[in-house]
Structure 1
Amino acid sequence: MSDLPAVPDPRDMRVSNDDRERVAKVLHDSMAEGRLTVGELEERLDQVYAAKTFGDLEPVTRDLPIGNQSRAVAMPQPAPSPVNRVGGRGTSSTAIAIMSGTDRKGLWTVPPTFTSVALMGGVEIDLTDARFEDAETTIQAFAVMGGIDIYVPEDITVQVNGTGFMGAFENRVQDQGQPRPGAALVKITGLAMMGGVEVKRRKPRKQKHKQIEE
């Protein structure tokens, strides 16, 4: 069974005063164009200002030719459900590179605490296809005269709290904040001393097109 919360129907979401005023303007314009009578306008305006949800507003302009590109009722689209990545046993708890390089990528399961150390070396941690033993994971990254690159997918929430000392602990992921419902949370902490830790998205792979000469 999935523990993900049910996605609410957009029609059940509450409308704001701006949403009501936007629909009211469409009705006034329709009356000016001769599409509605004064009586119909007053009747529909009563429905607009009494509306509580987007589902209440939708029928008010359904028979007016406003088109899909200029819909008065712009119902919010539900966010896509995050991939269920939680479950399984951790397959690796460390990644250590001393004057060398190592990586953790592909299909693997991250334990609740994962430690990475790069001492005059390089480490790559790719979470694109990873699963997580728990819903909340902590990655401890320590780079001393070395570098650690951490790649995260779009469907997990990331919080970065590392420190740089004569080095850089960089967060290039823009959605740092509160966990999204159902999404795995990854907290990245640690220290970059005369080295660097970088958290970023994996760029989509570009397909190579062969040029055919005639």
Structure 2
Amino acid sequence: MSTSAPQSRSTRAADTDRIQVAQLLTEAAAAGRLPMTEYEDRLAKAYSAQTYADLARLSNDLPGAIPCNKGGPCHPAPSTLLLAIMSGFERRGRWNVPMKLTTFTLFGGGVVDMRYADFTAPEVEIRSYSICGGQTILVPPEVNVEVGGHAVMGSFDHSVPGEGSPGAPRVRIRGFSLWGSVGIKRKKRRNQIEEY
């Protein structure tokens, strides 16, 4: 998990340990080893796990399970810019969500779908800007979301229904829209993980 020194199963787990198990669960679901309902149930439990023993119970029956004393630290994916000028962008399927993501549309559109993505940090900051364009950000049910954006003659969605799970990644979305839109939706996963 997060250190190379042997850990007692009763040792408290870190955010990076929970992220590693969440990634392992996502890989198992993508390979068809876990049905979607079991995957989502285990994922919610992984994000709220307190100890290494809690995490081990969720992943020991899967290939590639991480022993409590052999894991390494998780490193956040590099900051990313998604740009659409008179064009579009899509980020869907399995991808690594960075700690910082900036999206910009100018006379274009974009979609950021985090439902099947691997979170590489417990806190994610998204800066979204739309000028005469539009973009949609899809978050999975367990993720916690904070929104603080502004719109001038456009829209910046502030209503994301539902609450995330305790311990799940927190996504903070900020930015602005000028004659454009930034839509944010909490959406359930389909029956299988899409590989793009």
TM-score by length of 1: 0.54
Which residue pairs with 1:146 in the alignment?
133
In structure 2, which of residues 120, 133, 137 is the aligned counterpart of residue 133 of structure 1? 120
Change in CA separation of 1:201 and 1:129 when aligned onto 2, cut-off 3 Å: same
Which residue pairs with 1:198 in the alignment?
183
Which residue pairs with 2:82 in the alignment?
95
Separation in structure 2 between the aligned mates of residue 109 and residue 83 of structure 1, nearest angstrom: 21
1:170 aligns with 2:129: no
Any idea what the Cα deviations from partners look like across 1:173-205, whole Å, max 9, x if unmatched? 2136xx753110000010010000000023555
AA partner of residue 82 (structure 1): A
Which residue pairs with 1:42 in the alignment?
none
AA partner of residue 151 (structure 1): L
**SS of residue matched to 1:154:** coil
Change in CA separation of 1:175 and 1:205 when aligned onto 2, cut-off 3 Å: closer
CA contact (8 A) 1:87 1:132 kept: no
Deviation at 1:166, TM superposition (A): 0.7
AA partner of residue 128 (structure 1): R
Deviation at 1:82, TM superposition (A): 2.1
Any idea what the Cα deviations from partners look like across 1:64-97, whole Å, max 9, x if unmatched? xxxxxxxxxxxxxxx9762657944416611100
What CA RMSD, in Å, does the superposition of the two structures yield over aligned residues? 3.0
Deviation at 1:171, TM superposition (A): 3.2
Gaps of 5+ in 2: 2-12, 16-40, 48-72, 192-196
1:155 aligns with 2:142: yes
CA contact (8 A) 2:149 2:174 kept: yes
**SS of residue matched to 1:82:** helix
Change in CA separation of 1:204 and 1:114 when aligned onto 2, cut-off 3 Å: closer
AA partner of residue 121 (structure 2): D
1:185 aligns with 2:170: yes
Q: Percent of pairs identical after alignment?
A: 35
Change in CA separation of 1:83 and 1:139 when aligned onto 2, cut-off 3 Å: farther
1:3 aligns with 2:3: no
Separation in structure 2 between the aligned mates of residue 151 and residue 145 of structure 1, nearest angstrom: 20
Could you say which structure has the larger radius of gyration? 1
CA contact (8 A) 1:88 1:109 kept: no
AA partner of residue 117 (structure 1): F
The number of residues matched between the two structures is: 132
TM-score by length of 2: 0.58
Any idea what the Cα deviations from partners look like across 1:81-123, whole Å, max 9, x if unmatched? 6265794441661110000111111111122110000000001
Separation in structure 2 between the aligned mates of residue 187 and residue 119 of structure 1, nearest angstrom: 22
